[in-house]
Chains A and B, each alone.
Chain A
Amino acid sequence: MEAIASIAPEVIETTPSVSHTVPKLISGSEALMMGLVAEGVDTIFGYPGGAIMPVYDALYDYQDRINHILVRHEQGAGHAAQGYARMQSRAGVCLVTSGPGATNLVTAIADALIDSTPMVCIVGQVAKRLLGTDAFQEADVMGVTMPITKWNYQITNADEVPEILSKAFYIAQSGRPGPVLIDMTKSAQLELMTKPFVYERCQSIISYRPRRIPKQEQVEAAARLINNAKRPYVLVGHGVQIAKAEDELRLFVEKTGIPVATTLLGQSTISTDHPLYVGWLGMHGNYGPNVMTDQADVIIAIGMRFDDRVTGDASKYIKQAKVVHIEIDPSEIDKIIRADAPVVGDAKEALKALTALVQPNDHTIWRNEFRKYDTIEYEQITLPELTSTEGKIRMAEVIDMLSKKTNGEAVLVTDVGQHQMMASRYYQFRRPNSLVTSGGMGTMGFALPAAFGAQVGAPDRQIVAIIGDGCFQMTLQELGTIVQNKQPVKAIILNNNFLGMVRQWQQLFHERRYSFVELQNPDFITIARGFGMDGQTCEKRESLSDALDTMLNHDGPFLLEVIVEKEENVFPMVPAGASVAQIRLK
């Protein structure tokens, strides 16, 4: 039997080296600042505290080059950095103190890892001589974050700063992006370097060699499968947008005529009105894309990882199909679904190579099979949700109207729950990189700070946060950050006074035993005004259009609370543990 081997592929250099040399000896904190400048960092989301004060002191002299944004809670710093990173396609940077500062950041780090968001977190730590003594505000942040970072490192002397910082950015931003944490002792922040500061951007690490260019034989094997397919089907994940391969994807599907579905995070990779786009996959995805998965003969999965929210019961998933899996992270190949033709590499490079080898094909009949399911979904779910005249406003109406008023060009930043699924169902995305949501971790409280970070990262785009009343109360203090920084974030709370998704599950699977899901909510608009943000509440269907106009036309941030139907359910739905073919319409 052949030995199981996983070895490093060859190194691929892409970025030029930048070198900065300074003759005088400087402190670790100043070295950190200079390193950040050399990396091109223009924004830091952070919160000061005892064990990071030397760094904050150094930052005081760098305010003209680095914009520091004071958040209200370290979790907010993490999510804001995620939003920023998603818009900028480079690492978001967080700066927090030791102990509670670092542990407050943990949720955002875990969120960034599972959604492959590049982030560099710089965390203060107690002085080296106090390490391991249960000193004030000491927490084993290295141990805590080891399983949820792509890489972490504890700096205990100032000389390490340039090399470690450059490694951190390289690791966070290359290959499959992810969060990196640097734990820096206070002594390393204070002490002087013993050698001149030299900063060289890291370009390769001996033990870490992400493969960007796929092997030609893998591409050829994939092309053979695709060219012989009768019912091929492309499933697009977040990896395509990370690789900025939207154009390559479009060219590939337009040449081959293959229908495309996306995962939750893959949405907006291809315009919703593209004739080959059939909808999105997953537990609350569209009817056709889920059902048809079981009828394809070749599945081409690109930059996606077959999450259980996509596959349902994985043991019953695509048993009939051959699988082409294009993925930069080789550990995702065969992890959930066995690949017949794995292609390890960057989605952009892989799609370019593949498009050259595939033949044009007529898949019209196969593509049209999706449409009958679209009609069923439209008649049974979409139409009733969009045209209801009785009861309170429905979430679908809000998103549909927002979509029309913004021409599908806004960036939606959604929280987690029913409103997230409704936003995904009803917003007609026209531009790439237009949905920022917490997918893998499902972090409530994500949207408000992430929307703020996204607005900082993309000042020219209209950012609209879609938030549930439960989610909003997890990070609402970041209203203060938004106001202080004068960012024109628009936030819509879809308020049903419930933890809506949990209530839906309790209704469907726990005999309506509504266990602790009803919320007594505060007056959100008064709270917003307390922070200095304008807002209004909309309760009546006939005033929804005006309320949305008021929000979108408002100069500056705005909070719109929409009182929605209390017990509304999100359908279609693949019940947990069921196969995708068992998707329910009611």
Chain B
Amino acid sequence: MTTYTICIFTENTIGLLNRITIIFTRRRINIESLTVSETERKGVSRFTIVIKHESREEVEKLVRQIRKIVEVMAVFGYLNEEIVYNEIALFKVSTPLGSKPLDVETINQQYKAWVVYWGLDYVVIEKTGNDTEIFEFFGYIKQYDILEFVRSGRVAVGKTEKGLVEYLPESEWAYYL
């Protein structure tokens, strides 16, 4: 199974998430993670969807089916080595009075993670990185009592120079600014 990251640029309209995910459902492709946000251009959203699949050919077909949706402007399918990508994870770790103190230096220096909130008897640590790095940190921090753990979907940008603007005619940029 190969991991593919599908980046979809769309107009920002109601119901589009459904229209896109239906295409995955119909083809029985499981979505590993999904992130949506507005891009640098007003009214243009970027979906980042991670899937695993055995066949590149099937992923190419999927990309073309997504492109068929009227509100979709461009779709890219990437392999991991073609993108810079990250996720963010938050760990809520129990720190009651008298418990083993956190080794903040190791957390910062070795794992590049940061305490972003101090509660009365817990802290929240933020760790960004790819899934391997996040789970390495998980392995380390689980010696403390993890009260909550949450991971975001992947965000990714392609390593090539091409960005969205390459695929919108220049005369129409103003439409989105």
Contact = CB atoms under 8 A, between A and B. Distances in A.
A142 B76 contact: no
A572 to B, nearest CB: 31
A207 B73 contact: yes
Interface string B131-169: 000000000000000000000000000101000000111
A5 B4 CA distance: 13
A88 to B, nearest CB: 23
A3 B82 contact: yes
A431 B70 CA distance: 34
Contacts of B158: 3
Nearest to B158: A3
Given A147-B26, A331-B68, A4 B76 contact: yes
Interface string B2-24: 00000000110011001100100
Interface in B21-78: 22, 26, 56-57, 59-61, 63-68, 70-78
Given A207-B10, A207-B73, A208-B70, A331 B64 contact: yes
A2 to B, nearest CB: 9
Nearest to B64: A331
Given A3-B158, A4-B76, A331-B68, A206 B167 contact: no
B79 interface: yes
Contact of B64 (A171, A205, A207, A330): A330
A146 interface: yes
Contacts of B22: 146-147
Interface string A129-158: 000000000000011001100111010000
Interface stretch (A6-14, A315-323, A385-393): A6-14
B18 A1 contact: no
Nearest to B22: A147
Interface in A1-51: 1, 3-8, 10-11
Given A3-B77, A3-B82, A6-B64, A207 B169 contact: no
Given A4-B60, A207-B11, A331 B172 contact: no
A142 B74 CA distance: 23
A1 B167 CA distance: 21
A329 B144 CA distance: 56
B59 to A, nearest CB: 6
Contacts of B169: 10-11
A335 interface: yes
Nearest to A176: B68
A5 B168 contact: no
Nearest to B56: A4
Contacts of B18: 143, 146
Contacts of A208: 70-71
A334 interface: yes
A142 B15 contact: yes
Interface in A45-79: none
Contact of A1 (B15, B68, B82): B82
A333 interface: yes
Interface string A91-133: 0000000000000000000000000000000000000000000
A208 B168 CA distance: 11
Contacts of B167: 7-8
Nearest to A208: B70
Given A1-B79, A7-B74, A206 B175 contact: yes
Given A206-B168, A331-B61, A6 B74 contact: yes
A8 B64 CA distance: 11
Interface of B: 10-11, 14-15, 18-19, 22, 26, 56-57, 59-61, 63-68, 70-79, 81-82, 158, 160, 167-169, 172, 175
Given A7-B75, A8-B74, A333-B64, 9 more contacts: A4-B59, A4-B63, A5-B75, A5-B76, A146-B18, A146-B22, A171-B70, A334-B64, A335-B61
15 contacts: A3-B158, A4-B76, A5-B74, A5-B77, A8-B74, A8-B168, A10-B169, A11-B169, A171-B70, A206-B168, A206-B175, A208-B70, A330-B67, A334-B64, A335-B64
